[in-house]
Amino acid sequence: MVRFSLYLSAEVNGVTDLAPADETSYSYTFRVKCNSCREVHDNFMGMCRSDEHELPSGHGSAHLVWTCKNCQRTSTAVIESPFSPYTGEKHPQKLLTLECRGCEPVEFVPQGVWTARGVDSNTSFAEIELDEDWYDYDEKAGEEVSIVEMEWSIERK
């Protein structure tokens, strides 16, 4: 068992508490490498906190159960920690921890809908997509808000 943490570093202007819109049903999307044959899976794989899959041994469950197409080894991953909303106060900031057996997340893609709130106005921004830089306007604060220069990283713990 090895733990990996997902980190984000970004330039944020006027918003804080960036997080998936519904953390329980959000599908964290990773590219995964097999620790046995070192093959990196061609496709991205999603894992969701609300989806538990039974382990092949029948003892327990995981959020991701994956069999490598190259060596046929089965690997698992569990979302271990609750998501910590990104405040932008420190760089990089740890958001999530995974417990992996037999595999390693090597890349994260922030698919799906995210939310944030205005720093001074508390305005809710509910439809954020992070596939590219994000810009909006905070009516209450009377200023542009943004999340740009996002750098996602994964570190072994």
Name the burial class of residue 38, with classes exposed (0-12), middle (13-18) and buried (19+) by CB atoms within 10 angstroms of its CB.
Answer: exposed
**59: burial class by Cβ within 10 Å (0-12, 13-18, 19+)?**
exposed
pLDDT for res 91: 82
What is the rounded average pLDDT of the residues 45-73?
92
The pLDDT-based confidence of 157 (bands split at 50, 70, 90) is confident
The one-letter code for the residue type at 121 is: S
In the sheet that holds 74-79, the strands lie side by side as 64-67, 74-79, 93-101, 2-13, 143-156, 134-138
Tokens of 155: 């570190």
**Mean pLDDT, to the nearest integer, of 143-153?**
96
Reported as a pLDDT band with limits 50, 70 and 90, residue 58 is confident
Structural element, H or E, at residue 116 = strand 114-118
Phi first, then psi, for residue 94 (nearest 5°) are -75, 130
pLDDT at 95: 97
Averaged pLDDT score across all residues of the chain: 95
- The pTM of the full predicted model, rounded to 2 decimals, is 0.93
pLDDT for res 1: 86
Confidence of residue 97 (pLDDT cuts 50, 70, 90): very high
Q: What percent of the chain has pLDDT over 90?
A: 91
The CA angle 94-96-102, to the nearest 5 degrees, is 120
pLDDT value of position 56? 82
